[in-house]
Structure 1
Amino acid sequence: MTDYPHLLAPLDLGFTTLKNRVLMGSMHTGLEETKDWNRVAEFYAARARGEVGLMVTGGIGPNLEGSVLPGAAMMVGQEDVDNHSVITKRVHDAGGKIAMQILHAGRYAYGPKCVAPSAVKSPISPFPPAALDDEGIEKQIGDIVACAQRAQQAGYDGVEIMGSEGYFLNQFLVTHTNKRDDDWGGSYENRMRLPIEVVRRAREAVGTDFIIIYRLSMIDLVPNGSTHEEVVQLAQEIEKAGATIINTGIGWHEARIPTIATSVPRAAFAWVTKKLMGKVSIPVITSNRINTPEVAEDVLATGCADMVSMARPMLADADFVTKAMTGKSSQIAPCIACNQACLDHTFSGKISSCLVNPQACYETELLITPAQTQKSIAIVGAGPAGLSTAMTAAGRGHQVTLFDRASEIGGQLNMAKQVPGKEEFWGLVDWYRAMIAELGITVELGREVSADDLQGFDEVIIATGVVPRDPEIPGQDAAHVVNYIDVLRGKVTVGPRVAIIGAGGIGFDVAEFLVHEGISPTESLPDWMREWGVADPAAHRSGLAPEGPQPEPPARQVTLLQRKAEKPGRRLGKTTGWIHRAALAMKDVKMIGGVNYERIEAGGIVVSHGEARENPTLIDADTIVLCAGQLSDRSLADALETRGAKCHVIGGADVATELDAKRAINQGTRLAAEL
């Protein structure tokens, strides 16, 4: 008996059967671009060994003009076929199935040769596309079909044809990007002709016993996007053309509505997929923010889809499915949808990985093997750095004792999880707690450790984190001045008007915390949809509410201040910073950069501007919150070094810039892998 009968049920496709209803959705990791095919193969093979039903690769270009960026992976010749054969053989040897995603970027291609239905420039690319003529369209069709044939030759079990997220095929569908008046434009029948033709010809080329997934945009979230009726019409024609499965795409990349960030409710768009159920006879996959077996099971049990796509959860834990099958769901490393090591890396030209699992995409480099010599290891600090070190070291066979002065594990994660939109951090702390129990790690909480307490251990690791930086503002000792730690821990009363000193990540988190009251929109899908202006595409074209975003009024009047003379929030995450800025703007938060903090008074804080300290102004505030950065807490490390005792210093105790859990976890994991 399983807790997940729907999720773990096989899916019969006629000519082949998938072992369960889990699809590892496509992610552009940058691995294919390394040309290290052993490394690429091992990444996918690890997930195949973890019992994923079907995997889809990152997007592979069918030609140069359709490639997402210069140097991106393509499938255009025999050498590519031979290289990809390394992947498919490794996956098949591991008992898995894998499809290759064919991604033609259209006007999203980051290069001067990009093409599109019409010469309409994308707002997220500096390159204007060339409008294709009939001959050019035929070339694109031929290249996509040839790409599918090469994927079949390389041993893939199928292909996913990318027709969503605002890429090439999606661009033909909507008047937002298709201004043509020929047989490829105008009426919807003409606009949907290209994706249908691509699927039809691909099916003819690869035969019947080959999976063709079509990724269909079910809610565009951009002006002049598709209606639900058009989505259904396209899906039915795609089925007739020969698709095996239809996968859900949500939103274009240029949409100003978040779709996969941590502040998006879990399974936030499963209802969109459900609207297609029963309208086609082939299996339908749903996607976006499905990150636990419980959520996935509920989605399937309530008839939202036949299969679920979970992409980033497979970065967080390659053994996600195996653990669900064997009653170990509490040990699944959770995807917290932070984007910090996956999408932020992708859009920065780096190899993707995972904040909670630094081994993701580094399977051949970051080797975690049993220790040859068992050691006794003391770790001081049970935040992300200390916890990741403890887990990795204990997993290798070391005897680990974890100390923390606090009464619970988690460190600053326990503050982050209080912020509306960061509820996933509760699950992260719960996972650490489960793994501590599973690995038999000794934990001593509520204990202030001295250098004397650490004698006798073979290795000592200091992960004591950070302490708030003192901004040294005249008047900061006043009763209405508080620090961010006490605010997030609920230890102080905050007035109706607030000035926050510091507009880094913590300042933004504190602002989010203070402008919300009651249930977080992340925990209430109707509230979240109203806040961001998402509507039923059956009622409103493209799923955009005509009245636009309608957030709840802010619980407090908040002003964010920073010394740097730049746009507040500019240094936030590459793919999530805009969400935080937009969310606070909707709550009327004032954001002011380039200020000097002159003095704090009873009625607020006086700031001036520029090096000349011009235009002193009183910012009215009943409460002033200090978020002016952090300093490393190195007191214990310094005491040990004074004695000549060796220790390793990691995490915030090593580098205090912001609160970087990604760096802390990676650093701790890599250290423990070497001990």
Structure 2
Amino acid sequence: MSYEHLLSPLEVSGVTLKNRVMMGSMHTGFEDKKRDFPQLARYFAARAEGGTALMVTGGFAPNATGQLSPFGSMLTAKRQVDRHKIVTDAVHEHDSRILMQILHAGRYGYTPWSKSASNKKSPITPFRPKAMTTKDVERTIRDYATSARLAKEAGYDGVEIMGSEGYLINQFLAARTNDRTDRFGGSAEARMTLPREIVRAVRDAAGEDFIVLYRISVADLVDNSQTFEEISTLAQHLQADGASMFNSGIGWHEARIPTIVTSVPRAAFAWATGKLRAEVDIPVIASNRINTPEVAEQLLADGLADMVSMARPLLADPDFVKKTEAGRTDLINTCIACNQACLDHTFGGKKVSCLVNPQAGREGELVLLPVPKQRTKSVAVVGAGPAGLAAATNLADRGHAVTLFETRDHLGGQFRLAMNIPGKEEFAETLRYFTRRLEKLKVEVRLGTKADAGVLAEFDHVVLATGVVPRRPQIEGLDHPKVVMYDELLRGEKTAGASVAVVGAGGIGFDVSEFLLHEPHETLKHWMERWGVTDSETVPGNITEKVMEDPRRQVYLVQRKHTALGKGLGKTTGWVHRQTLKDSKVEFIGGATYDRIDDDGLHLTLTAAPPRPVGPVTKLSKKTGLPLGMVPQLKALDKRLAKVSSEAQEKFDAAEPVTRVLDVDTVVICAGQESVRDLIPGLDESKVTVIGGADVAAELDAKRAIKQATEVAAAL
């Protein structure tokens, strides 16, 4: 493809953008402290050097009540300007542009001083907000203008006003969160007053030669929210009020419809952007699950958008645009939308990185420098899973002579299994990327070859990335014909019957259950029906009833623990997997002892969860400094709690275990993994580095494996 649309320039508010690629806003964790701004500058500079035309920072609050977290990022005072200049100067050095996002969290703020349109509590945050007074709202509008003026002083080319994703402005726009009776509420038109006055105030404060990008919610995906007619009316008002461009926001954070996880089809919400574009005369940006130049080019060519926003894809490969310009799209490290090192880190209070590119967020720290020729080594990498592939390519990239050994006749390891899971087809892109890098770097690849100590002794260094094998638990009847190990099933070596018990409810157990229930490569139409998404212009929030099909199989997901099944899944993706299985009528069974497997099926003994101990609240009162006058009341409460705990314990002790037989055709074992380390005893340990699953065989962790491999390659 020529990518003539994607690589063409765009004029906005007197600013020339050199192509149609924008790195959308993502909170990295580097915005909150002054000391982290040099790293934030390196992070954005890498994307600017890679050819990205426009970038948007993580959100900066216009005042304290809008903070995402206590002492979180703000731009409210002149003394804060200089730290931002480090970032803007680094981006401008590479002829790219950068906007600062102004974000007021509203009821999504993790602070006890949060404020919103009303005092309705968010289901995803612990604090109930205070309802803003009219003066609070007017002061907030001025604060937006001040923040924009300071952003211009700091060298930003514009600002993005966060008006979507369920944050403050969205909270004012939706009847579900706005029950005001002043001029900022009451009717749909009145609810638009806040964003309109913010845009006007920002434009007045910053002047005409400044990009005012408004992130507009084109599909709220929650009930009692905006219709498309209201969204269109708002957009036309904001265009007249001074907005330069619109960026598409999809869904609220509390929506029960996935919008960016890997199971969401590529460009799944471009239809919503296309509808908005037809209503306005300024550029409109498409977002969400656009991760290849081909998809981006097609959206632009089809007239659905004027620009594309890609945040995570530019985490995965900062040179995305440069490679596209050079006709080397085969070497793009594609984002697989796993969320494990980006959004899961963000919502866990960690610094952002990337599973497939652990250098993201560590641009000045994890650097793969060329090795002087006299110091290069011959290195054997044993195992071609994610860890081995990352080690082999990064070592070769630095100049070492690398030979990659793999016992199977193909590359990929656990990733080759993962890409067979419906909704994880993107994992194949990572294997495509590594395969092309191996070819380009001329790594010697020996497939179908089992390395031994004699062969490995010829190398200067050995990196063991031999991975894992499924753990075989001690269950009577494990050799019964009904039993299938998860890797045998996913490789197609064995098949499953119409009813299946999946033993083990970790990530693999959930993946295997989805493999048993759904076909891969789901169409957008089917995905929208299954999750209850409609493109109707008259339905508020674009949500409707789910259209469910009968599951392909009856599946039972079983675990030993009494905790909720799937509790250890990803912070931002786990709920999607749990809901998918519930919708497919999977029965979750916890607290199980596996007695045996025989012709009748899987025999279980089920026990109740033990009661949770409740500590004395009087001790808590001493730690928290409660008044001494409350001690008698607290002691009385302690007595009641002790009685309740004692009764619960007695009930638990008296409970009889329940036996149950799952009459199934197949039992799939997903009971963990064991490291493959049989080569170690025959090697000189001073020349051996063990990485990935061979090092630690906990729940499969490609994030750790690729990160560890990259660090080893950087250090050798």
Give your verdict on TM over 0.5.
yes
Aligned equivalent of 2:647: none
Q: Contact (CA 8 Å) 1:227, 1:537: kept in 2 or not? A: no
Q: Give the alignment partner of residue 584 of structure 1, picking from 581, 585, 591.
A: 581
Q: How far apart, in 2, do the equivalents of 1:60 and 1:590 lie?
A: 44
Q: Contact (CA 8 Å) 2:11, 2:17: kept in 1 or not? A: yes
Aligned equivalent of 1:237: 237
How far off is 1:79 after superposition? 2.5
Q: Contact (CA 8 Å) 1:389, 1:668: kept in 2 or not? A: yes
How far off is 1:594 after superposition? 1.2
Runs (4+) off by over 4 Å: none
Aligned equivalent of 2:41: 41
- Opposite residue 355 of structure 1, the aligned amino acid is L
Q: Give the alignment partner of residue 559 of structure 2, picking from 536, 557, 562.
A: 562
How far off is 1:356 after superposition? 0.4
- Opposite residue 616 of structure 1, the aligned amino acid is T
Q: Contact (CA 8 Å) 2:406, 2:446: kept in 1 or not? A: yes
Q: Give the alignment partner of residue 442 of structure 2, picking from 437, 440, 443.
A: 440
Aligned equivalent of 1:674: 715
**Equivalences for residues 507-526 of structure 1 within 5 A:** 507-517=509-519, 519-521=520-522, 524-526=523-525
Asked if 1:552 corresponds to 2:549, the answer is: yes
Q: How far apart, in 1, do the equivalents of 2:666 and 2:115 lie?
A: 54
How far off is 1:609 after superposition? 2.2
Asked if 1:410 corresponds to 2:418, the answer is: no
- Secondary structure at the residue paired with 2:32? helix
**Equivalences for residues 270-419 of structure 1 within 5 A:** 270-372=270-372, 373-419=375-421
Asked if 1:13 corresponds to 2:12, the answer is: yes
How far off is 1:651 after superposition? 0.1
**Equivalences for residues 87-106 of structure 1 within 5 A:** 87-106=87-106
- Opposite residue 658 of structure 1, the aligned amino acid is E
Asked if 1:26 corresponds to 2:21, the answer is: no
- Secondary structure at the residue paired with 1:65? helix
- Secondary structure at the residue paired with 2:65? coil
**Which of 72-81 and 497-506 deviates more?**
72-81
Q: Contact (CA 8 Å) 1:23, 1:52: kept in 2 or not? A: yes
- Opposite residue 154 of structure 1, the aligned amino acid is A
Q: How far apart, in 1, do the equivalents of 2:63 and 2:217 lie?
A: 22
- Secondary structure at the residue paired with 2:276? coil
Q: How far apart, in 1, do the equivalents of 2:316 and 2:259 lie?
A: 19
Q: Contact (CA 8 Å) 2:13, 2:210: kept in 1 or not? A: no
Aligned equivalent of 2:703: 662
Aligned equivalent of 2:683: 640
Aligned equivalent of 1:455: 457
Aligned equivalent of 1:184: 184
Q: How far apart, in 2, do the equivalents of 1:169 and 1:402 lie?
A: 53
Compare CA radii of gyration and give the structure with the larger one. Answer: 2
Q: How far apart, in 2, do the equivalents of 1:40 and 1:443 lie?
A: 38
- Secondary structure at the residue paired with 1:662? helix
Deviations along 1:59-83, whole A, 9 cap, x unmatched? 1111111011112111011221110
Deviations along 1:293-349, whole A, 9 cap, x unmatched? 000001111111000000100100010000000011010101000000000000111
- Opposite residue 211 of structure 1, the aligned amino acid is I
How far off is 1:645 after superposition? 5.7
Aligned equivalent of 1:630: 673
Q: How far apart, in 1, do the equivalents of 2:278 and 2:580 lie?
A: 36
How far off is 1:189 after superposition? 1.1
Deviations along 1:165-210, whole A, 9 cap, x unmatched? 0000111001010011221111111000000000001101100000
Q: How far apart, in 2, do the equivalents of 1:167 and 1:537 lie?
A: 24
Gapped runs of 5+ residues in structure 1? none
Gapped runs of 5+ residues in structure 2? 609-652
How far off is 1:13 after superposition? 1.8
How far off is 1:434 after superposition? 0.7
- Opposite residue 591 of structure 2, the aligned amino acid is G
Aligned equivalent of 1:610: 607
Q: Percent identity?
A: 54
- Opposite residue 614 of structure 1, the aligned amino acid is P
- Opposite residue 668 of structure 1, the aligned amino acid is A
Q: How far apart, in 2, do the equivalents of 1:594 and 1:213 lie?
A: 52
- Please give the TM-score of this superposition, normalised by the length of structure 1: 0.98
How far off is 1:646 after superposition? 2.9
How far off is 1:455 after superposition? 1.3
Deviations along 1:497-527, whole A, 9 cap, x unmatched? 100110100010000000114x542xx0000
How far off is 1:659 after superposition? 1.1
Q: Contact (CA 8 Å) 2:91, 2:97: kept in 1 or not? A: yes
Deviations along 1:246-298, whole A, 9 cap, x unmatched? 11000000000000000000000001000012311110001000000000001
How far off is 1:94 after superposition? 2.0
Equivalent residues, number: 667
Q: How far apart, in 2, do the equivalents of 1:14 and 1:478 lie?
A: 70
Aligned equivalent of 1:67: 67
Aligned equivalent of 1:83: 83
Aligned equivalent of 2:484: 482
- Secondary structure at the residue paired with 1:151? helix
Q: Using a 3 Å threshold, how does the CA distance of structure 1 residues 188 and 539 change in structure 2: closer, same or farther?
A: closer
Q: Give the alignment partner of residue 649 of structure 1, picking from 669, 690, 698.
A: 690
Q: How far apart, in 2, do the equivalents of 1:39 and 1:174 lie?
A: 37
- Opposite residue 385 of structure 1, the aligned amino acid is A
Q: Contact (CA 8 Å) 2:460, 2:687: kept in 1 or not? A: no
Q: Contact (CA 8 Å) 2:17, 2:96: kept in 1 or not? A: no
Q: Contact (CA 8 Å) 1:219, 1:537: kept in 2 or not? A: no
Q: How far apart, in 1, do the equivalents of 2:402 and 2:337 lie?
A: 29
Asked if 1:427 corresponds to 2:424, the answer is: no
Q: Contact (CA 8 Å) 1:537, 1:544: kept in 2 or not? A: no
Asked if 1:621 corresponds to 2:664, the answer is: yes
Q: How far apart, in 1, do the equivalents of 2:607 and 2:525 lie?
A: 44
Aligned equivalent of 1:575: 572
- Please give the TM-score of this superposition, normalised by the length of structure 2: 0.92
How far off is 1:574 after superposition? 0.5
Q: Contact (CA 8 Å) 2:13, 2:208: kept in 1 or not? A: no
Q: How far apart, in 2, do the equivalents of 1:313 and 1:359 lie?
A: 14
